[in-house]
Structure 1
């Protein structure tokens, strides 16, 4: 087996010649912690016996260990803030890793693959840049991104789901009422809106359909969120030039009419129609309410105002004459 020649892991075995990224220094305590984290997730790293030592039958020795000289890994396994690199806190990263529960008995391990995928997703960088950051081949980054993407899509329904119980629905409605500080919003079961996800200009005769009103190419993500801003329903894929109301009419949320339950409604902005069926939507007034005065009241106010002006003017003239 050849020596690992990349930065993410380093091999404690002396190889000749030594690559610049291979270290033969003693393990830092935090490096033991990092490798213990990976092993705790079922990511047993392959065995590599020490030089000149024959391993006992049935035993496994680590031949690769996390190289904390890589800044991204140092911040993740250390005490650094992970949000600048991955857009997620350490708590959220732990939840995602436990949710995926993908056991890796070979390769880079589920933890490293998830970090590579999140860094690529958070930074929007190319495979070449991500490979330099983690010190792994560009082709490996490509395979990791596609594999972890499929795994995340497979478990999305565990996270993005409508309220399942009456207690969950009550928590959402009470949350909206608390945000609005009005009891009238106690029946609000969600808020809907659309978002343009930027894409590369598609080729073909229909590519111009993806240019939105902001003059960049995109696809539309329609999402319903709860009072905490968490997605409870998503629908994505329409070209950026399509209006929000048309995307709504073709969405499963509208066609199946399974949410919200009777007596509840979803809040929307002016880009959506105000509906009662099949999907109850409440939108703002397109024009502010105009106060109309009755002619008798209006004329009475004008007369009273003129009298006040005349009286004040006469008193002012009398004062000047004295």
Structure 2
């Protein structure tokens, strides 16, 4: 039943699991005088040791000692995307001992996990992990498995085929791995969602990958103490040799005005490297997308 939970529902599911399974630091039935006097026939640690797969449930226990013990019991490949994310979340646990146990656990389990499961989990983790604050070096274990080539292949297929959801943001997060570079032309040409195709074309035209890498405060007006949160991006050059002229020509033929606008912005930025720039601009003066028309007019001016 845990394996069947939507991977994106971890935060909501965790509170329900704890409540329904009574995974409290001191379960209600153990808090009474008679329970303490008579004792339990089987304690929680004994249950964990003797019961097959109970570690999946105790991974959510409010007692850090039991979370740590559950992590040490995990072995072999992870069974689902939901459990993969649950294990990754323990790398960001508020108890240092649990984070250390999580490191040992994922170092055993993540490398053995099928790429299809990792890719499903990555579609959630690539968006959310940048907001985690407690972990430090522990993140390297997650980065290592997300940087596998077979995972990049599965994730690219997911990004192309998914008809809804934040696939453009997922692609942004996935760009930190060089393995994704070889899939960008396919994503640009075939992704169902226009926003995803736009990100792929924008990356190819720029010749560099950019992805969210944390945040910082930016002053809006120091005199009144007004500031706002600004996303920080990391960058790296693409490992592709695709023709700039060819990729812009393909983007200009896309059915989405947003993608054609990205292409026309590329024409403006790289006009010194392209041929027939004015002819391109004239061709799109009557484009149905306002952003495309405005960029074409700018080029001619």
TM-score (norm 1): 0.29
TM-score (norm 2): 0.30
